[in-house]
Amino acid sequence: MEYLSLCGKEDTKLTGAQKGTLLHLCMQKLEEKKDYDFKEIEELIKNLVKREIITEKEAENINRKAILQFTKSKIWQDMKLAKEIQKEKPFYITVPAKEIYQEEIEEEILVQGIIDLYYINPKDELILVDYKTDFVETEEELINKYRKQLELYKTALEEALGQKVKHTYIYSTFLEKEIHI
């Protein structure tokens, strides 16, 4: 995936969405079989700057603790044993419009998105994970806000792979935990 700098000018303040995009990028670049500490997270970010994938200003705005906490999560430990790991996978699915708009519309619409992460664990179970960087107080806020999106991701993944999703998680970088849906 090609990544473009989020900052136009060096004095531009990054938005929450831009910071979230940077966090996603770093999580995407992590090596799943590796144990990380703070120094290694810092090296990952410095390498992104060195390779001109992000700017110094962007690097300063990355929440290193949130990335490190992800590498300590149950999901990360599970991924170390995974048979297959896929990140940032685009999908397309056709769904009845009434599922999206809660109106009696008979047409179908094409939905496209990108699945942050899915993997096959040692038990051959398909696990779906979506990263969320929202500032929230409770897990329920994320569940209520993103349940429908994750249901679409789950359906698309099951159709593409011909396998049922066993577990669906939101990984909240703000709450620093996985949330089972």
Q: Express as a percent the part of the chain with pLDDT over 70.
A: 92
- Helix, strand and coil percent figures for the chain, each rounded to 5: 40, 25, 35
Select the more confidently predicted residue: 107 or 55.
55
User: What is the average pLDDT score of the chain?
Assistant: 90
CB 42 within 8 A of CB 49: no
Residue (of 28, 31, 21, 88) closest to 58 by Cα position: 21
Distances (CA, A) of 179 to 146, 164, 169, 173: 12, 19, 5, 11
- State the pTM of this model: 0.85
Tokens 């998680």 found at: 169
> pLDDT tens digits for 89-134?
998 888 877 777 767 777 888 888 899 999 999 999 999 999 999 9
In the predicted model, is pLDDT for residue 10 greater than 60?
no
